[in-house]
Structure 1
């Protein structure tokens, strides 16, 4: 089947690789224009563009798809020449206008990383982890004018592990979803797929802003754990210590037996939300329920580091309570 692929970031690369390896004809790729990044603010191609160029695939980079614009009209003219039978989409990042939706025979087919109608929107993987879902998946569906509301073509399920960060889960879904997208193209080609309307209650996963990743230490420990993992690695869960913003890596609960074995067990049990206690080889933080152990932390201007090493630095400066030193209180907020 003759295909034009639309996608931009790294998770879309896996799907494009699998489509290139299939029997389908990838006639062109639509992706976002080169973006400036890094200290030098130099232009860099999207990951999808870089892969397409490696394989000699034509790349289209319109700034907009709106009709009546130079880029939008040029894209329409080129798509009319290519006459794709389907346009699979993975995290493209540009609004597809209504007149374009009917251009391919089988429409624009989106790969979305949830079991629709659950977690429609921009951040379904993060939302599923933060909500404590035990299972998620990937869905291919035919794009319409709604927000992820189109008819479903195929789905797969994936378990969410208790230690999954957003990066862990998205990586697995990208590979499984890439296979699903190829299978969907195969099914559309041979007529074995029948689109089905979405059923059930819809939930929504809005685009994540940096402020959304701030940790609320008054929440229960399990909620904080999920919140941190959902925002790892990007934008990164964070907290304030005074005026300093620190990024916080995944945390772990402190088992009751382990807590009782600590010489400072009473002090750790008494921690209020956000209060920090440095033990010999660990850093504990109070929450709205039980204390948690920090795994990694990133102070301003430094790289992510082991929390125990960071805690020893605090203790040596006399800035956090330990079992052996009387020091000032440190609290996250």
Structure 2
């Protein structure tokens, strides 16, 4: 199997695939990027995981003709002739898609055609949707528009954040989605066309999107930001120029109850501990926050 991924959860996907007899012959991932003050090139976690597991890795700036030739060689020698895409981050061109003859499968964390794009989990939580899920689709040239092999829907609870929703997706993928991959590999799977009239799209998230705004947000919208951005960029208040990151919160009697917070540059702590040494900053919190 050829896997396209640049995601920090690649190890989880790798373990599920290998546990179920899918051997990863090649990882195609984003190239190292400048990082930190020195702007030294840094490999992503998927790349590092593959190297540690002795998996051949291809990290081109763009998928060009040379990349296609290397992917084709790996595909020709693979046992299942399949590809799997999970948060790769780059466009996969038609000439590469065609190599897989309909067996290049994308795991997209939404109930397509809703939330096509890069931030579907965050979008569902931000919009306070009652349910979300994931789709296994045949990769196509158009973004997240391929035919659907499988979907699973589940509830979004008030306590769910990015990570818990992702865990629900992975749990079902390991139990049921992996069987769909086996059916695809043996030409036993069927796929249905997406309804284009129902397609919606996500927006790119910026660090500034995490700010909870006093005159705009409510307890409900603030909690949605906290849960949606629990992985990145984190939700935060600006209190007299000080960034206070909110890691965990809940709602009680129409008030936002802060539970775990972090003053920028310091350690995460219970909000009760933060209150004891920061009485002045508390006066800058919105009225909808329980002090």
Q: TM-score of the superposition, structure 2-length normalised?
A: 0.87
- CA change 1:180–1:47 in 2 (3 A) is farther
SS of corresponding position for 1:194: coil
Matching of residue 208 in structure 1 with residue 205 in structure 2 = yes
- In structure 1, what is the equivalent of residue 264 of structure 2? 300
User: Cα deviations across residues 76-131 of structure 1 (Å, max 9, x unaligned)?
Assistant: 11122233522110001111122222111224211011111111111111111111
SS of corresponding position for 1:139: strand
Match of 2:96 among 88, 94, 100: 100
- CA change 1:75–1:246 in 2 (3 A) is same
- In structure 1, what is the equivalent of residue 73 of structure 2? 81
User: Cα deviations across residues 158-208 of structure 1 (Å, max 9, x unaligned)?
Assistant: 322220111221233234335555323211122221121013622222221
Using the TM superposition, give the Cα deviation of residue 219 of structure 1 relative to its aligned residue in structure 2, in angstroms: 2.9
Rounded Cα–Cα distance in structure 2 between residues aligned with 1:107 and 1:188: 7
Match of 1:27 among 20, 25, 28: 25
Using the TM superposition, give the Cα deviation of residue 73 of structure 1 relative to its aligned residue in structure 2, in angstroms: 2.3
SS of corresponding position for 1:251: strand
Matching of residue 185 in structure 1 with residue 181 in structure 2 = yes
Using the TM superposition, give the Cα deviation of residue 223 of structure 1 relative to its aligned residue in structure 2, in angstroms: 2.1
Using the TM superposition, give the Cα deviation of residue 235 of structure 1 relative to its aligned residue in structure 2, in angstroms: 0.4
Using the TM superposition, give the Cα deviation of residue 43 of structure 1 relative to its aligned residue in structure 2, in angstroms: 4.4
- In structure 2, what is the equivalent of residue 286 of structure 1? none
Rounded Cα–Cα distance in structure 2 between residues aligned with 1:207 and 1:80: 32
- In structure 1, what is the equivalent of residue 241 of structure 2? 243
- In structure 1, what is the equivalent of residue 143 of structure 2? 147
- In structure 2, what is the equivalent of residue 126 of structure 1? 122
Aligned length: 281
Rounded Cα–Cα distance in structure 1 between residues aligned with 2:19 and 2:257: 45
Rounded Cα–Cα distance in structure 2 between residues aligned with 1:229 and 1:74: 42
Using the TM superposition, give the Cα deviation of residue 6 of structure 1 relative to its aligned residue in structure 2, in angstroms: 0.9
- In structure 1, what is the equivalent of residue 284 of structure 2? 330
Rounded Cα–Cα distance in structure 2 between residues aligned with 1:293 and 1:189: 49
What is the RMSD computed on CA atoms of the aligned residues?
A: 2.3
Question: Is residue 126–residue 231 contact of structure 1 (8 Å, CA) maintained in 2?
Answer: yes
